[in-house]
Amino acid sequence: MPVHAGRAGGPSVEDFFPLWRRGKAGPWAAHRLDQDTAGCLLIARRKSFLLAAQALLAGGGAEKRYWAAVRGVPAEAGGEIDLPLAKQSEGRRWRMVPSAGGAPARTLWRVLGAAGGDALIEFTPLTGRTHQLRAHAAWLGHPVLGDPVYGAGGGMMALLARRLALPLPEPVEATAPVPPHMAAFVEACLGTL
């Protein structure tokens, strides 16, 4: 489900905000997730919290970890991708592509395990660009399974916003459970969850 209402219509997370509202303002989504990404989404109920959370997210002060099932197994155990990205449009479709003139985009990655010729990778974005992890995974030569834009599609996208932590005066931490469509693969890579 998309966080915000899109051109195609259909339900979005923000459609449920009136049910959670207390008073005249809020809640607000503090950040976004791609429509097919499962996991942690931070929603603020107070404006002061929203501003503090967004400042941490924009300034790189929040810890974000993602798990992705990717096609194939990288030859290396991990590394850092420092690859600027720019939006490329073709008609109504668009995607993020490597570009020297693009916005800086940095991602740490490490292989957590492998099964059936594919790998489970933990990504730690150091910047927050649109489609950053999906574009970086494809650039590595190991696109996210099910990704219709940067990979071959064919099912639900196997990308999970696994952990989110904000070092606020009252710290905020969340770890998302593995969604059903990724569970068997994650268990094969890591053992019992």
Q: Which residues are catalytic?
A: 34
Q: Are 163 and 175 in contact (CB under 8 A)?
A: yes
Q: Which amino acid is at 130?
A: T
CA distance 115 to 78: 17
Query: CA gyration radius for the chain?
Result: 17
The first and second tokens of residue 53, run together, are 């959370």
Closest CA to 17 of 44, 55, 56, 54: 44
